[in-house]
Structure formats: C-alpha cells, structure tokens
Chains A and B, each alone.
Chain A
C-alpha cells in the first residue's frame, strides 16, 4: 500500500535538460561559439597548469608558524607565512613605537569608519562636515598624542596602513571640494578666474605625481633657510591633494558639460542665483554622471599614495619593503607582496563595488 497522491489531470512538463541548469549555463556561457570553445579550453588549461602548483606552494608546503626563518628555508618550494606572522606589525604600522601600536590601529579603524560614513546617503548633509572634523581631530590625537595621557609620537615615525589611509582619505577628501571649485572656475565667465584655473589644472596635469612629490621633498627644503623645514609628511600630503584636485576638476568638468543647456536656462528662468543654481540643479546632476570616472580616480589615488616610497615615507608599501631587509628573515618577498596586495585589493574592490551600488541607486532614468 502506498500513500503517494495519485496523479490526476495534466502536469507541467519540465523544460528540456539542455535549457536549464548547469548544462545550459555551460553551453550558453562557455561553448556557444567555436571561438568561445577555444577560449574556454585555453583558460581551462591555464588554470590546470597554474593552480595546483600555486596551491601546493601557498597551502600544502607552506610553513605557517615558526619563530625563526630556518624552518622556512628548510621547506624550499613552500610559502613562508611565518614571515607574515613575524612581520605583520612592521608592515601594518611601519616604524610606529611597538608598544603603542594600538593607537595607529584605532586611528585606521576611525579612518575606515569615516570613509564608510561618507558613503552613507543619510550623512550627505552638513553633518558630514562635523563627522570629518571629529574624525580628523580623533585621528590626529591618536597618531600624534602629546595630550590627554598619550605620549607624543613624531609623524616621521608614522607608517603602514594608517599612513596610507590618511594620505588617501585626506588627499581625496580635501581635493574633492577643491577640485569642484576648480572645475566651476574653469567654466566661469570671469577671465581672470578662468585663466588661473586652467593654468593650475594644466600645470599639475602636465607633470607626474612622482615629480611633485620629489619637488616637495627634495627641492623645496633647499630653498628654506637651514634648520627651518615644513614637515615632510605634510609636504607629501599637500602634493597629493594638489595633484588629485587637478584631476577631479577635469572629471567634474566632464559632468558639467554633459548637463543639457536647458537645465541652466531653466534654473535661470526660475530666478535662482549662481550658487543656488549650481548647488541645487547643476552639481547634483553633474556629480551623478561622473561617479564611475570619479571612483576610478579615487582607486588610482589610493594606489598612487605608494609613490611616497621615493621620498622615504613608510607607507604600507615602503614598510613592506623595509620588512624584507631584516637579515634574519631575508628572501620572502613574494609572501609579503601577496599579503600587501590582498590589503590593497580589499580596499580598491570595496570602492568599486560601492560605486556600482551608488550608480544603481541614483539612476533616475538617464541610464542608456
């Protein structure tokens, strides 16, 4: 006896196997044309050729924990993750005093929180200014110390991830409004302002960031009297802001030019002043259009901060390089570069994902 319900009437016939499930997916995505078949096979071969050796190196033969480099040297052919375990604090925090490294850690977290807050639409008002003000004070206090019970740490000792974040966040953070002003200035009807903005933008865009950094760090001190110097880190930060601003200006200008003339005329017809017109009608639309290039620019700037290597500032990249020079742990460059590239990837990928979300959320029918 069976309790199975009897089949009564008609049932839906399942679609053919070849149009659903994994088979269809593969047929459609991987083997849809002769070219795709060839590409699929080639890629498959590439994966087969590279993945097993990599897994063997990175996981199977790897040395995970070891107090000295000897175990790593003995296990030739395997990754030495013990190197990262030993050096992660130097890589992440650079030359910051070892016992005080909870401070840059906190500062980095505050910095990340600042970025996240700036990404939330509900803070996109005057409150964001306060948040940035508080964040700046908090980060300065944690990093410098000197008041409220924290010992003073000169910024020549700052390094690692917090420094990279500071250079990138405040570089972009300050360059953004500056860049918008430059873009508006470039489209201004006042010849003096227009000329100044064009000169600035073209001059800065005409030289690579590396030469700006180099100028600010090597040439500038020679023109000061002996003993007087503007802080090296500040000089680098200003160079990054100046550089980013020029590029942001051009990206924003692209957005401004994409706004139909009717929008300007409509705003004028409503009797809005220049600032109201710009702030309420033009900029919101222009900035929305330029989200993708703007995010590319932010990602590029984040990675470009590693150029401060040439002026001896210990950002994430330079701290990584310095970790490779310890005689007791020499020769594990690949491991450390993989470690640091994962860090860079996490940040850059998050930025890129966020920008896609933002674009989707702000889409109001202009999408083509």
Chain B
C-alpha cells in the first residue's frame, strides 16, 4: 500500500501541471446543473449517509451551500464517496468539482498536488485520549505506551514526530477503520488512542461504556485546518466555493439564520443588506444570482446552525465550538467581509 500511495502521489504530481487548465469548472458545473463534491466514505458528523442513504454532515453542508449559491437550490448536488488515497486523484482527474472531505490544508497539497486550498470550515488538531485509571496527566508521560492509530493519515506521522521530538518510545497498534480502532482501545489493547480531538471527543461520548473513565490530554500536537479544495487555475470556481462558505460564517456573525432570514431582508444593517443581496453587486461579482447568500442561509443555514446540527450540541457528538467559534467569541472563524 505504501508503494502504491507513493506511486499515486508521484503520478499526481507529474500530471498536475498538465491537467490544470483554464478555469472552466464554473461553466462546466453551470451547464451540468449540479455540483459534484468528493466526500468521505463515512466520517461521522462530516459526511456520512443516514439510514436512507442521504448524505449529511458539516462537509456536505459546504457542498449544499455551493449548490444553493449557484442554482438557488441546495439539493442540486451529488457526492462521490472517496477513500483517503483516492481523494486527490479524483479531484485532479476532474471526477469531482470540489473536494469537501475533511482534508487538512497544507503547503504540499496546496502547491505540488496542484490544488488550491480554499478556506477552513473546521479547525481541528490531533490529541490523545487515555483511561483515567492510568493516571496520566500529560502526553509527556506516555513513554513506552501502546498507541492505537489509524494508518495512512497525517495522524500516524504526527504521532511518530511527537514521540521522536520528546525522546520517547511507543508501540503502535495500527487499524484502518475508526470504529475498530476505538473498539481496540475500549477493549484495552492499547493505552492511548490518538486522532483528531473532534473525533476523540465524540468517541468518548458515544463509544466508551463510561465516558467519565476516559480523559483527553491537554496537548494538541498538530494543527489540522480542514477545508474544501479545488484544482489550480480554476479561479472563478474557487471564488464561488470560498464565498459560499464565507456567506455561512458571515451569516452567523450578523445573526442571520435560516429561520429569520426573511425578516432580515428588511434589516437596516448595511452588512446584512449586502450579504442578502438587498444591496446588489455581490452576486454579479461572483457570476451568480444576487440572492446567492440568501439561498444558502435559507436552505442550508448559517455556519453555527450547520455546526450544531451535525457535530455540536444538537448532535450525538456534542462537540463544543472551541476554536470553531466566531473570532469575536474567542474562536478562529474569521470570514473576509462581503463587500
């Protein structure tokens, strides 16, 4: 598998330059009548099918918001489920228009792979969870521990780096599937479970027999800004993806929700007027209808609504906003102004 991955990555890099063409995705999508988004094959809260096979999640909401901006109808999208190894080729080869698959934005991916990181829709970071009975207070005390980790992600790499930097040893227990690795941890096959903190928090609540027996260690050993990606040289399309996401974030900042959006049309706040297209100009600049952001907020909701519905307090995952709160509420969400 490692060989294959290397080979695939090399092939992607070689072909990246030739494949990147003039920014036509915008027109292609418009002509097709629906957006095609690459999502995961199932990551709870981000993109996962429900019992009826309908996709939902915070990443799927980004996809829906693009569809709402472009067509005025958030249901005009299709998803292509992708494994971690497939995702970049799928975007590169044009199988999908945009990758909304909890993917960490990084320099290599932004440049050598031939993509543009658009914006961040979820701030995450890798952490550790241990049973309380181990009496560990800090990750620095984990020398010699057995660590459960998923292969093929940056998680595995960060883990090795962290232990090497701190001159510590660890024994990895490597299992591909999230559910199985959690089961291994719960069964006591390893002392430590490491993955992104958002995942750890949800695992602790929903998958351990007694949540109070497990604790998240304070160390955050990596920055994982997750967000959508598009192909290089696709500027108009990138603009639309970026501002569809920003419209959701701005909507929350100015208190526009899916419920009050119709009243807000009468608002006197010039920012709200510009966002909702009461003062025209924004839609024209993006090449879509002036009601683009109205449609996003009306049909998908603002960022806060999407967050709470999929991963926050209205979902079983019960994540707190943490770094994903608005910038004026102690978080990192800082959408560029719509003006």
Q: A: which residues have CB within 8 A of B?
A: 69, 76, 86-87, 89-90, 93-98, 156, 159, 211, 214, 217-219, 221-224, 226-227, 229, 232, 309-312, 314, 318, 321-331, 333-334
Residues of the B chain whose Cβ atoms lie less than 8 Å from the Cβ of A221: 89-90, 93, 95
Q: A312-B83, A312-B86 are in contact. Are A327 and B316 (CB under 8 A)?
A: yes
Contact of B53 among A94, A327, A333 (CB under 8 A): A94
| B11→A219 contact, CB < 8 A | yes
CB atoms of A89 and B52 under 8 A apart: yes
B220 within 8 A of A: no
* Cβ contact within 8 Å between A321 and B95: no
Cβ of B93 and Cβ of A226 under 8 Å apart? yes
B51 contacts chain A at the CB level, 8 A cutoff = yes
Which chain A residues border B315 with CB–CB below 8 Å? 327
Interface size class of B (residues with CB under 8 A): 35 or more
Given A221-B89, A330-B316: A322 and B8 within 8 A (CB)? no
Given contacts A90-B52, A219-B7, A331-B207, contact A325 B85 (CB under 8 A): no
Residues from chain B with Cβ under 8 Å of A323 in the complex: 49, 51
**Contacting residues, chain B, for A318 (C-beta < 8 A):** 41
The complex places the Cα of A69 from the Cα of B315 at a distance, in Å, of: 13
Do the beta carbons of B51 and A326 come within 8 Å of each other? yes
* Residues A325 and B316 in contact in the complex (CB < 8 Å), given A95-B53, A222-B93, A226-B94: no
Residues on B with beta carbons closer than 8 Å to the beta carbon of A97:
53
Chain B residues with Cβ below 8 Å from A159 are 53
**Which B positions have Cβ atoms within 8 angstroms of A?**
4, 7-8, 11-12, 15, 19, 21, 28, 41-45, 48-54, 78, 80-83, 85-86, 89-90, 92-95, 177-180, 182-183, 202, 206-207, 209, 310-311, 315-317
For the complex, what is the distance from the CA of A331 to the CA of B78, rounded to whole Å?
A: 27
Q: How far apart are the CA atoms of A309 and B136 in the complex, in Å?
A: 38
Nearest-CB residue, chain B, relative to A332: B179
Say whether B49 contacts A324, CB under 8 Å. no
Chain A residue numbers with a CB within 8 Å of B179 are 321, 324, 330-331, 333
Residue numbers in A under 8 Å from B82 (CB-CB): 312
The distance in angstroms between the C-alpha atoms of A94 and B89, with both chains bound, is 23
A90-B52, A226-B93 are known contacts. Are A321 and B45 too (CB-CB below 8 A)?
Answer: no
Q: Contacts A89-B52, A318-B41, A321-B42 known; A312 to B80 CB distance under 8 Å?
A: yes
Partner of B51, one of A90, A214, A314: A90
Cβ A90 vs Cβ B83 within 8 A: no
CB within 8 Å for A331 and B206 given contacts A219-B8, A226-B21, A312-B83: yes
The smallest C-beta distance from A81 to any residue of chain B, in angstroms, reads 15
Q: What CA separation (Å) do A330 and B15 show in the bound complex?
A: 40
Greatest chain B CB density within 10 A among A219, A312, A324 is at A312
Q: How far is the CA of A310 from the CA of B48 in the complex (A)?
A: 17
Chain A nearest CB from B235 CB (Å) reads 17
B98 to chain A, nearest CB (A): 15
Residue of A nearest to B41 (CB): A312
Tell me whether A312 and B51 are in contact (CB under 8 A): no
Q: Which residues of A contact B95 (CB under 8 A)?
A: 221, 229, 232
Q: Could you pull out 6 A-B pairs where Cβ atoms are within 8 angstroms? A: A86-B51, A90-B49, A93-B53, A96-B53, A327-B206, A327-B317
